[in-house]
Amino acid sequence: MTPIFTPPPPTIAATSDGRGFPVRRVFCVGRNYADHAREMGKDPTRDPPFFFTKWAETVVPSGTVIDYPPETGNFHHEAELVVAIGTGGHNIAVADANSHIWGYATGLDMTRRDLQLTAREQGRPWSTGKNFEQASPLGLIHPVSETGYLTEGAIRLTVGEQTRQEADIADLIWPVADVIAFLSRLYTLEPGDLIYTGTPAGVGAVVPGDVIRLSIEGLSDTVVTVGPPRHG
Ligand code: MN
C-alpha cells in the first residue's frame, strides 16, 4: 500500500553512550510520592498504582524551548525518574523486573493542571491535561551498565534560581520494580516503552521565559525553557 502522506519519523531519544533509543509508548504513574498525593488533595495509599499514557511524540530532548500550551492558565512542572524498557514481557514478577530495564533518565511530566483537575472533578479522562505536544521532555537515557539499578538518589527541580521540588527516589510509594510488575499485568511491555514513575511534592506553575532544570543523582539533567504560547 502507498501511504496517503509521508508518516512522521519515530521519536528517537538520545542515550548517554551516544546512541538512539526508539521510543515506543509513554506510561506515567499517578501519585507515587506520599507528599505529592497530599498536595493534590488525596490520601497517600498502598493501593495498586494507577497509570495514564502519553504519545511517544510528546517526548522532546533536554534543551528544547517548549511552547506554552494552549487552553491553560496553569502549566505545571512534574519532576520524575524515567525508566526505559529494553526487554518486553507480560506478568513480570517483581523479582525479575529489573532485568527488563535498559536504563534511566530524568524527565518532566508537563501538565495543564487546570484541565486535569476539571476533568478529575467531572469524572472525565485526564488526557487533555497530560497528553499534548512537547509534554514529556527527557534527558539522556543512561544504560543500567553505567548506573546500576537505581533505588535511591536525590531528585531536584529548579525554576530559575528557585528550588521547587526536592526529594529522594527512595521515597517512591511503589519502587520501579513494583511499577513494572503492575504495568505488565495491564499491557505487554515492549522494548522502547518509557515509564515516568511519578513526581514528589512541589509541583507548580511556569510561565514563558522560565528555565526548568531537573536533576537526579547519577543521571544527566533535563533543562527546558518555556517559550511563547503555541497558538500565539
Ligand atoms: Mn506525573
pLDDT of residue 119: 97
**In sequence order, what DSSP letters do the residues of 141-165 get, joined into one string?**
BEEHHHH------EEEEEETTEEEE
Smallest CA-to-CA distance from 188 within 85, 110, 104 is with 85
For residue 210, report the distance from its CA to the centre of ligand 1, in Å: 19
Q: How far is CA 214 from the centre of its chain?
A: 12
* 36 three-class SS: helix
Q: With CA atoms as reference, report the closest residue to 112 among 131, 97, 96.
A: 131
The rounded distance, in Å, linking the Cα atoms of 13 and 61 is 7
Task: Yes or no: say if 107 and 139 are a contact pair by the CB < 8 Å rule.
Answer: yes
Fold of the 20-219 domain: Fumarylacetoacetate hydrolase; domain 2 (3.90.850)
In the reported structure, the alpha carbon of residue 82 is separated from the centroid of ligand 1 by a whole-number distance in angstroms of 10
CA 148, CA 14: separation in Å to the nearest integer?
19
Looking at residue 79, what DSSP letter applies?
Answer: E
Residues in the chain: 232
Which pLDDT value is given to residue 33? 93
Are 32 and 173 in contact by the 8 Å Cβ rule? The answer is yes
> Residue 171 has what pLDDT?
96
For ligand 1, the distance from its centroid to the CA atom of residue 140, given in whole angstroms, is 19
Count of C-beta atoms within a 10 Å radius of residue 29: 25
Half-sphere exposure at residue 196, Cβ-oriented, CA atoms within 13 angstroms: 34
CB-proximal residues (5 Å) to ion ligand 1: 78, 109, 199
The CA 28 to ligand 1 mean position distance, Å, reads 6
Write the DSSP symbol of residue 57. G
Task: Give the H/E segment covering residue 28.
Answer: strand 26-30
pTM greater than 0.95:
yes
Amino acid 160: pLDDT: 98
Dist CA 204 CA 3 (whole Å): 42
Average pLDDT for consecutive 10-residue bins of the chain (232 residues)? 94 98 98 90 86 98 98 98 98 98 98 97 96 98 98 98 97 97 98 98 98 98 97 78
Which residue's entry shows cell 506515567? 28
Closest CA to 27 of 60, 49, 9: 49
CA of 19 to the centre of ligand 1 (A): 26
Q: What is the pLDDT of residue 93?
A: 98
